[in-house]
Amino acid sequence: MPVKFTLNKGKVPVKIYTDEFDSNSLDQLGNLAQLPFIHSHIAAMPDVHAGIGATVGSVIPTKGAIIPAAVGVDIGCGMNAVRLSLKANQLPDSLRHVRNAIEAKVPVGFDSHKYNAVKASTLKQMDAGLKPIIDKHTGLTKMVKHFHHTWGKQLGSLGGGNHFIELCVDEADDVWIMLHSGSRGIGNAIGRYFISRAQKEMGNLLGHLPHKDLAYFEEGTKYFDDYIEAVGWAQDYATINRREMMRLVTSAIQPHLPAFTATKEAINCHHNYVARENHFGAEVYLTRKGAISAYQGELGIIPGSMGERSFIVRGLGNETSFCSCSHGAGRVMSRSKAKKLFDADDLAKQTDGVECRKDKGVVDEIPGAYKNIDTVMANQSDLVEIVHTLKQVVCVKG
């Protein structure tokens, strides 16, 4: 569907692909639209909801400046999916051993590998890119415990919150592995460091912004270039993290399933990141805060919640959305509210048929805390087309 609501309370309009939004989201979007360096307009995806720094589900084109808090602290967070040669009828009746095997192989939550799980050549390459960043910003090393060991050992680990690993079945009964994670502790540290640095660098000008989280670096300044270098490194880290997790998950489930191979149909996409792109006649820094790239013919992943369907999609190249689409279902309530409203019994009912945790520790991720994924997909029918519909049968949460 086309744009359903346009907010005109700033220097540029905000074009929103849903009529399901709250006042906090509108306030955040309105604040963004007041900044002088926004190009053309801001697009808000159907899963839009209030976030920290900027609205989740927003696509923000900037000229001559960049807002670290709009990119956020889970830099490069995104999705990876691969189709296997297995059919649903080849899966065992009980998938508990499969879930246990994944959880034993891939650290979740705050955990990391005891030893580096990736090749030494990969670590060497990543370390070479990180060194000049650390040399200029030594304060980063104080933000992560055992900094130089931790980032390496977290490669190939899940994290917590809404990150997950799933085994899914599509409309043709093909089995998929799908996972969601980002740049772990090092990405979080880079995000927090440069958000704080932007606020300090603005000095007295910070008080003239609609919100302090909209502090920015101007292009051509030292910190602008340093941030671009650091955020690029973190996005690469996130891609490698998902790639290594996919490798570990594949090896973990092999002993518990019939022999299989991974097909060539694999997708790895960010949904919290910044990229240099051309839109509406200008080169811009395009920040996708909870949104994925959806250029014409481009494959992407839009997950539902831990009890709902997910989708492999193909972009339609809609320029009004800056060739973007939603990154998921989008929350309708905070984690704290979900914990008050639902309990473990509710979670068990809403995840019936899925092999997953059903305890109070993950109640904040209950499907009822998210928007209806079918409505979200209907609201972006002119942004993407559905290629595959996936339903999880195993879900591993942090």
Interatomic CA distance for residues 271 and 325, integer angstroms: 10
Q: Find out whether 207 is annotated in a ligand binding site.
A: no
CA dihedral 96, 116, 157, 109 (to 10 degrees): 90
Q: Find out whether 397 is annotated in a ligand binding site.
A: yes
Q: Find out whether 166 is annotated in a ligand binding site.
A: yes
Q: Find out whether 271 is annotated in a ligand binding site.
A: yes
Q: Find out whether 329 is annotated in a ligand binding site.
A: yes
Closest CA to 390 of 242, 179, 181, 175: 175
Q: Find out whether 185 is annotated in a ligand binding site.
A: no
Interatomic CA distance for residues 293 and 236, integer angstroms: 16
**AA identity, residue 6:** T
149 is catalytic: no
Closest CA to 81 of 300, 354, 396: 300
DSSP E strands, 182-271: 217-218, 262-270
Q: Find out whether 304 is annotated in a ligand binding site.
A: yes
Q: Could you say which of 49, 113, 270, 327 is catalytic?
A: 327
Q: Find out whether 352 is annotated in a ligand binding site.
A: no
Q: Find out whether 208 is annotated in a ligand binding site.
A: no
Interatomic CA distance for residues 107 and 42, integer angstroms: 37
Q: Find out whether 126 is annotated in a ligand binding site.
A: no
Q: Find out whether 178 is annotated in a ligand binding site.
A: no
**AA identity, residue 73:** V
Interatomic CA distance for residues 244 and 126, integer angstroms: 14
| 286: its two tokens | 């395009």
What is the β-pairing status of strands 217-218 and 262-270? unpaired
φ, ψ dihedrals at 65, nearest 5° = -160, 165
Interatomic CA distance for residues 95 and 351, integer angstroms: 14
Q: Find out whether 330 is annotated in a ligand binding site.
A: yes
Interatomic CA distance for residues 142 and 274, integer angstroms: 25
Q: Find out whether 305 is annotated in a ligand binding site.
A: yes
- At 6 the three-state DSSP class reads strand
Q: DSSP string spanning 49-114?
A: E--SSS-EEEEEEESSEE-HHHH-SSTT-EEEEEEEEEEGGGS-S--HHHHHHHHHHS--TT---S
Q: Find out whether 310 is annotated in a ligand binding site.
A: yes
Q: Find out whether 78 is annotated in a ligand binding site.
A: no
Q: Find out whether 358 is annotated in a ligand binding site.
A: no
**Beta-ladder partners of 299:** 314
Interatomic CA distance for residues 150 and 98, integer angstroms: 27
Q: Is 109 left (phi over 0), alpha (psi -120 to 50) or beta?
A: left
Helices (H), 275-341: 335-341
In the block, residue with structure tokens 């820094």: 285
Active site residues: 327
Binding residues are 74, 162-166, 180, 271-272, 303-306, 310, 327-330, 397
Binding residue ranges for Mn(2+): 74, 163, 180, 271
Binding-site positions for GMP read 162-166, 271-272, 303-306, 310, 327-330, 397
